[in-house]
Structure 1
Amino acid sequence: MDWGSLAGLLLAVGGIAAGQMLEGGQARSLLQPAAFLIVVVGTLGAVLMQSGLRNFIAALRMARHAFLPADDDHARLSRSFVFWSNSARREGLLSLERYCEREPDPFIRKGLRMIVDGTDGDRLRLVLEQDINIYERRERGVVKVWESAGGYAPTVGILGAVLGLIQVMENLGDPSKLGAGIAVAFVATVYGVGLANLLFLPLAGKLKARVQNEVGRREMLVEVMAGLAAGENPRLIEDRMAAWAA
């Protein structure tokens, strides 16, 4: 669990609730099922229409990564590449074939397979950089789902406010129903702005940073694998891996 992300979300929501109570209000007054339904379902519906079902489902799955610690496999990869480099210098590049299927990372596995097949460093860079571009474009498209949600939520919140005011206008002759309509009107705006700025946009920013870090990781791996294909000294490969960790 990434406790920083969870703590940040709880701090933001808790601060708003505490401020509400300090002003003499009650936290439960912010709990309006009708406003929640309008804002959340309306926002998700608009995002689904824009992004399509595939990206929408991928975005829901990706969201959990904002609350999970990033995988740190640098030490393992550093040891592996140095070992593979030594093995290639002693026994030739074909000796790497037995390590291909054991490697859990499909990106590295593909690079090793290309090295075993005799692909030169320039061609390897070209192919793997194309893979990185495809990965980045796909993942950024998924992250954009949450950015879009951050854009739609405040507008849908205003729509909820208008609907609440319509209810108020329709019941001017019955004062007992005015409070519910006014509550929906104001709380819907709070939900829209709050979800956009406390959840959707921070979530998109966190996931975008994750994608960028993975792109940087893969770019470094391309250089290391190109060096491995060219028969570079294992110490040079180790230095490159150390520079990536710095």
Structure 2
Amino acid sequence: MDPATLGGIALAFGMVLLSIFMEGSSPMSVVLFPPMILVIGGTIGAGIASGTIKDVKRTMANLGSWLMFKQPDSEATVEEIVSLADRARREGLLALEDSARAVEDEFLRDGLQSAIDGTDPDDLRDMLEAKISSKKAQDKVSSKFFANMGGYAPTVGIIGTVVSLVHVLENLSNPDELGHMIGAAFVATLWGLLTANLIYLPISARITRVSELEQQHMEMIVEGLLAIQAGANPRLVGQRLRSLMPPSAAKKEAA
């Protein structure tokens, strides 16, 4: 699991709480449920309105996997592909039918089965690349969902502040209460800015980055499958696939 996003959000909110304490105030001064409900509920409603229910369901269903993402072990995948290439070169593609069922990576397993079934190499590449493009497009929709909410939240916060200031103007006859009421009015703006910049936009960026990493891994698998199908030398297959790995991963393996 890569805890970067969850840890980063926790750190950011921790710094906000620390600044509140250092100002001599209390966190409860900004925990006011009416503006929080308006900002959070209004932002989610606007986010849902900007897409389709199907988009929202898919985004929420996959949110946990994006936040708890574990980066694929590229080196282990390369070793598995090299082993399959070695056996395919010695015994033929049909000999991999039993091995294909034991492959854990769904994308690799399905692609390998298609290769075993005799799919033309060009058709196989087109099919696998279409799957990658489809997944990338779906991930982009989910990322945009949170990016949209990051754009809506500050504006919804301003709406909440205006609503509260209208209430302040209705109570000008109570000057002793004005300071507290004006301070409470700006809590909505605070929560709009906090949720946008410390929750929604970081999650949007996280989804985009995870999608990029998964896409790189899948593209490496495509090259490996085509090499297996072509009966390439296993050693050269390994070298080819490692050249496609990110530089940081390649340096780690070399070390």
Fold equivalence (TM over 0.5): yes
| Residues 119 and 229 in structure 1, CA contact (< 8 A), matched pair in contact too | no
8 Å CA contact 1:120–1:229 kept in 2: the answer is no
User: Which AA in structure 2 matches 1:155?
Assistant: T
Equivalent residues in 2 for 1:12-161, closer than 5 Å: 12-161=12-161
Deviation at residue 176 of structure 1 after TM alignment: 6.1
Q: Distance in 1 between matches of 2:137 and 2:67?
A: 23
**Contact 1:164–1:183 at 8 Å: present in 2 too?**
no
Flag the 1:8–1:121 CA change in 2: closer, same or farther, 3 A.
Answer: same
Please report how far the alpha carbon of residue 172 of structure 1 lies from its aligned counterpart in structure 2 after TM superposition.
Answer: 2.0
2:219 aligned with 1:219: yes
Distance 1:66 1:39 in 2: 24
In the alignment, the residues of structure 2 paired with residue 121 and residue 180 of structure 1 have an alpha-carbon distance, to the nearest angstrom, of 71
* Distance in 1, Cα, partners of 2:33 & 2:183: 11
The count of corresponding residues between Structure 1 and Structure 2 is: 246
Secondary structure at the counterpart of residue 101 of structure 1? helix
Structure 1 range deviating more: 114-123 or 192-201: 114-123
Aligned amino acid, residue 136 of structure 2: E
**Mapped contact 2:143–2:208 kept (Cα < 8 A):** yes
Question: How far has the Cα of 1:199 moved from its partner?
Answer: 1.1
Q: Distance in 2 between matches of 1:176 and 1:33?
A: 22
**Higher mean Cα deviation, 185-194 or 102-111?**
102-111
Change (3 A) 1:11 1:239: same
Answer whether contact 1:157 1:192 (CA < 8 A) is retained: yes
TM-score, normalised to structure 1, is 0.92
**Amino-acid identity (%):** 35
* Amino acid corresponding to residue 102 of structure 2 in structure 1: R
Q: Distance in 1 between matches of 2:44 and 2:180?
A: 24
Preserved CA contact (<8 Å) 2:82 2:237: yes
Letter in 1 for 2:56: F
Evaluate the alpha carbon distance shift between residue 164 and residue 27 of structure 1 in structure 2; reply closer, same or farther with a 3 A threshold.
same
Shift of 1:120: 3.1
- State how far apart, in whole Å, the 1-side matches of 2:150 and 2:107 are: 32
Q: What is residue 233 of structure 2 aligned with on the other side? A: 233
1:30 Cα offset (Å): 1.1
What does 1:186-197 align with in structure 2 at a 5 Å threshold? 186-197=186-197
CA drift of 1:185 comes to 1.8
Runs of at least 5 residues in structure 2 that lack an aligned partner in the other structure: 251-255
Moved more, 142-151 or 110-119: 110-119
The CA deviation at 1:69 is: 4.4
Unaligned segments of structure 1, at least 5 residues: none
Deviation (angstroms), 1:179: 5.1
**Alignment root-mean-square deviation, CA:** 1.9
AA in 2 matched with 1:168: V
Q: Is the alpha carbon distance of 1:101 and 1:180 closer, same or farther for their aligned partners in structure 2, counting shifts above 3 Å?
A: farther
In structure 1, how many angstroms separate the alpha carbons of the residues matched to 2:66 and 2:130? 26
The range that moved more, 122-131 or 95-104, is 95-104
Q: 8 Å contact 1:122–1:226 — kept in the other structure?
A: no
Deviations 1:72-120 (A, max 9, x none): 3324322221221111111111112222222232211221122112223
Worse overlay, 142-151 or 63-72: 63-72
